Amino acid sequence: MAGTFTFHVVSPEGNVLKEEIEFVVLPGVDGDLGILPNHAPMIAALDTGVVHYTVNGNKKKLAISGGFVEVSENKATVLADTAEFAESIDVQRALEAKARAEKRLLQKAHDTDMKRAEYALRRAITRLNAADGKND
């Protein structure tokens, strides 16, 4: 094993995760970011997407909706707008949210906030992808 580094995820609700991991792939706004132990220092904006990380050889997932990552001194800290473990996602609720967002986007009513509807759709799809095992 090449080593580990500290992976810390924080959202407005508080600390979500703090664990020693071997590898993480984060959804950056310009594409996926892979981080291994002893990564060079960086700060990057994150997009809505699924975070894939490895702990003791086991692959795990977390759905996030935007934020930032800071990497320094063998630690990666994610400040996410929202963060949810794949196994805790309510799939039925995510499916309902997806259907509501799609309906709002199709109706294109003059009072519909299209950006908000698009964001809700992306977040619902991300949650479904994390929960259903997609994007492994």
At 91-127, the pLDDT tens digits run 999 989 999 888 888 887 676 678 888 888 888 889 8
Contact 10, 30 (CB under 8 A): no
Q: How far is CA 27 from the centre of its chain?
A: 7
Q: Backbone dihedral region of 23: left (phi > 0), alpha (psi from -120 to 50 degrees) or beta?
A: beta
Domains of the chain are 5-86 (2.60.15.10), 90-132 (1.20.5.440)
Q: Mean pLDDT across the stretch 83-97?
A: 90
pLDDT at 1 over 50: no
pLDDT at 4 over 90: yes
Closest CA to 120 of 135, 90, 99: 99
